[in-house]
Structure 1
Amino acid sequence: MGTESEPDPSLSAIMSERRQLINVAYRLLGSLADAEDVVQETYARWYAQSEQQREAIESPGAWLTTVTSRICLDLLGSARVRRENYVGEWIPEPLPDGTEWLDARPGDPTADPADRVTLDESINMAFLVVLEAMTPAERVTFILHDVFRYPFADVAGIVGRTPAACRQLASSARRRLREAQSPPTPAAQRADIVRDFKQAWQAKDIDALINLLDPDATAIGDGGGLATAALYPVEGGEQIARYYVDLAERAETLTLLERTVNGQPGLVAQQDGVTVVVIAFDIAGDRIRNIWAVRNPEKLRPWTN
């Protein structure tokens, strides 16, 4: 037992789990702000226990992950109601990379805790959008088992299903992803296509934009209720090209920057140095299949230095 003046030796071990918990919660919820709230609530529940209760927990990390996942499972159920009442389209919150893939400025501070979210294929925007279509139990099971490698026996206790049922949930989730995903385009080619889109957009070149877009492409904007934001998806390559040229004509002072968005090449639009739009792309072959543009200021918090 330490005195009051001595640090709690278990505190650093408990707090070191925070990165893992943020990573789990962001993938489950698609929102960094919600993930932070969940992790804060998880720690509040940990310290609400008596010292004897905490000492009796064999694996504090497993306990914290279990509580975080259960809170997320509850939130996913209520999120459907919240998002049905959301003004316009809802897109997962975009994340920056700590080291930008172009126009990098050495020494820039990275956002916190966005810089602690591991950027891999399980957080690219196309992946997160598919996760949004899953049931809460499917999503939690798939993320915990397939991404974080938790055994089905442990996942079963979190989602309240049998291990066999969890296997079926994970299988269903994988099928959804396979159906939605296209063969991967090499990273360098993706970057080139995004750069070409940026240049064509700045040049207001409709034909060049049409050539970069799949004829059946979809563009979705999330303005969070902004009066100037598009409320509905724009369908079709030509319609999207005309829509973006119209935007360029109405926003002459925007500065476009090539940035990593959720681990993939994307674009950031700034007005007077302030990020006002973050754009993620889904690229199939040599064409852009989906564009997700986030304008909701609450979701752009990690992009503000």
Structure 2
Amino acid sequence: MAQHTPPAAITATGLHKAYGDHVVLDGVDLRVQAGTVFSLLGPNGAGKTTIVKILSTLISADSGRAGVLGHDVATRPEAVRAAIGVTGQYSAVDGLLTGRENLMLMARLHRLGRARGRRRADELLEHFDLVDAAGKPASTYSGGMRRRLDLAMTLMGGPRLIFLDEPTTGLDPRSRRDMWQIIRDLVADGVTVFLTTQYLEEADQLADRIAVLDHGRIVAQGTAAELKRRVPGGHVRLRFTGTEALESATRVLGGEADDDALALRVPGNGGVASLRDLLKRLDDASIHPEELSVRTPALDDVFLALTGRRSADDDTRKASR
């Protein structure tokens, strides 16, 4: 029986974009499955925002093709715009208007009508925990509240796909985690999320699939676990109840033994095939570990290995020391 291929919310083939002699995108291919979180990682200047602008019809690619929800971005931009929402790096909230007024402005832009727009605004204010602040000017909101209002404005038109371009930049850790939960809730409701970020923990927490962009090229794609297995340093840690079992396992598997902890560290990528082989070798030798754990490199190690640069996550950790 042929396997069903999940529908693609986004497809892109050979996207190129240059400004004069400066090449921003150099042949980008992407496929984003509907109803998932797809995260695009990359250092500043890698071309992440340019991809979002092309896919959301704000600018045109010099060459290549892209489709969003079945619509070609070059030939059917109106259909694309009607089906998507975009939340950029910088809030689109009008600080002189109240939270409710900002939402009603978006309702008018989407031609929802007064009654329907009011109902939708009430729903979103409730969902984003902004009811108490609805009548206050948005200029009085905290950073996290403004980002929630910004996303609520994006959702007024009921988009099936949302582009979130650096959505948690500048937020404190609690507000960032609140935004993560909102994103999870959106995907649970069937919305596709295209997330660009420099925060690797964010991608690790949210993304079903990740692509790493560097100097205008996709240098790696896969799940977080798949990307981590590409970087050396992964290992399997086995713990035993006695020294005899530890010594026997060391003879069979090699690796680095820790006599005090009764543990053995065996290099490996943590893949299913390698784990199956390791356990079979132990079973054939009648060696039974008490505990097994797989350690893989962090996503930050992947980012450094692929781009030669540290991530914003790593910079933030260093600055806080």
Q: Where on the TM-score scale, by shorter chain, does this alignment land: which range?
A: under 0.3
- Larger Rg: 1 or 2? 2
| Greater strand content | 2
Structure 2 length normalisation: TM-score?
0.20
Structure 1 length normalisation: TM-score?
0.21
